[in-house]
Structure 1
Amino acid sequence: MQEDILLRDRKGFKIGVIILLIIFLFIAFLVGNIKGTLKVEPKRIFEVIMTDDGSPERMVIWNIRLPRMILAALVGTNLALSGAILQGVMKNPLADPSIIGISSGAGLFGIVVLVVFPQYIGLVPIAAFIGAMFAAFLIYILSWKGGIQTTRIILAGVAVSALFGAGISGILVFYSDRVHGALTFMNGSLSSRSWPEVWTILPYTIAGFILVNVFAEKLNILVLGDDVARGVGLNVEATRLGFTALAAFLAASAVSVVGLLGFVGLIVPHSIRLIMGNDYKYMFPATALLGSVLLMFSDTFARTFLSPTEIPVGIVMAVVGAPFFLFLLRRE
């Protein structure tokens, strides 16, 4: 046990894990582009990406599979990083944007635009971000009592998530004639997503990835405890609020393009923490990579398992994530 702890604390080991995850990312990319009704040889993938030869392979890869794999990677990155931030800020491995209400807030505001004001569908990303920030703000207000305690945040988040979930259900009941368009959003799916969704989320992913890595050391200090953080001059409440806003920013961008997709932010950060420890300078890049790999493989499975019928990737993640959540609950 002691040897395992010493091993995961070594810089070389952490870099090795990151390199291994990059290899898995490449494998996930290949598998996602090969598998499907139309089988494509690995060497043809790069040929049709680089050259528009008008072949069926080019049409399938360029218009369907390639953007879908890139989108899965970006969404997986954002949700995993959001979960890593929340688990660090709240010092709780069960924290996740879908569990504590941030994704529900983004989902509620997104559903309002999709169902009630479909003519403004282009505003879904903005509405989702506003909803996520509103949920985060509401959680803070409800959990504040002479300061912030992580247990109160979790409990307030569960209550807010239930409240927003009821709001979503209410909207779908009152606008039952428009439910079909919202079902995909509710279950979380990459079906029919293509380049426009990639360009929508890409700036959020780049900005979020840069920010989490720039401020990783602050989160390292924060997880040591409020007293220690204050002792080294860190503004604890401002730092916690800033990181929560960043988590909401990342989660909202993912929700806005694929809908309500849970458990990525729960499974990935905790798995990385078990493998390489709590140093966020290495955790954040590894978490982003594993989030991408997990969602790419999950979406490929969802798309091909019952082909030509497609399962929403959100269902696959729920089947994987629910037992993992129960395992964590028992373990903690």
Structure 2
Amino acid sequence: SHGGETLFGTYDVTGHPALKEAIAGYLYSARGVRCRPEQIVVTTGAQAAFDLLARLLLDPDDTVWMEEPGYYGAKAAFTVAGAKILPIPVDHERGWHLDPPDFSPRLIYVTPACQHPLGITMRMEERLRLLDVAETANSWVIEDDFDGEYRFQGRPVPAIQSMDRSGRVIYVGTFAKLLFPALRLGFMVLPQELAGRIVNALSTTGQFAPLLLQAALADFITEGHMSRHLKRMRRIYAQRRQLFRDIVTERLRDEITLSPAEAGIQVVGYLRDGIDDIKVSQAAAKRAINVSPLSKYFQNTAPTQGLVLGYAACDATQMREGVERLAQAIGEVLG
């Protein structure tokens, strides 16, 4: 192990050195991310990373360019910092609409590996275009690698961070989805220029990940358990995903069209015209089924009606039962 004195001696606010070393090695092999351990900061989950970055990078009235529909946790962090949000429209047909906004954004936030919530993956030409826009506007880019490991066709796409030549991409990841949600551990990879500035911001939050947990996770990654675990989960989730798609398509063919996304452990089902997603999610909740209305991921443009459906934790029986209850919920809304 890593010497008792490191666990009970001085505390490194940016994270346990052994874990930072392990994350750097893991990210290079799994996601193509190039970094040194000193560029890594361990956080208490991805949300803590967004809060820190908002505090570090944004002034009131700065512009943030972010996806619509998009992750409201990140949006909340930027809004609290006083930023103005400009939408990057995203849809299944055309992907990311990256026409430069009227105001130069201080910060651009994207989930390119598995768009949250749509589950689509950013194409190579879109990634290059995004870096171009960031270069011209002199913006920071936050690459939130949401569910990037769970890609079911072809190899995982390398991170935008691996294509960044001018040190403007900040890569954010979390172990909650890779291992289990109660593991409140995330991390970010900062460009060299920011790595030095983060320590003060970190010290004022007082949010540090438990050290013993960090040490245990470092061993878990270094001893190869992490990549074995991921291979196994990818196989299991791919089977569950196919089964879930089959069950939904068979039972709810007239009400729901599933998105063709190839990544992520949730899937978006578009509701046919005239079905209100908030009403459906409320009717489903009464039947102990937890679905998110797609409309709540929109803030600046007209929402699309749909449901964000998680399938990863269910076996076949639970899936059939759950889809049946969802069908009843939709039936109730249609009256």
Structure ranking higher in helix proportion: 1
With normalisation by structure 1, the TM-score equals: 0.29
With normalisation by structure 2, the TM-score equals: 0.29
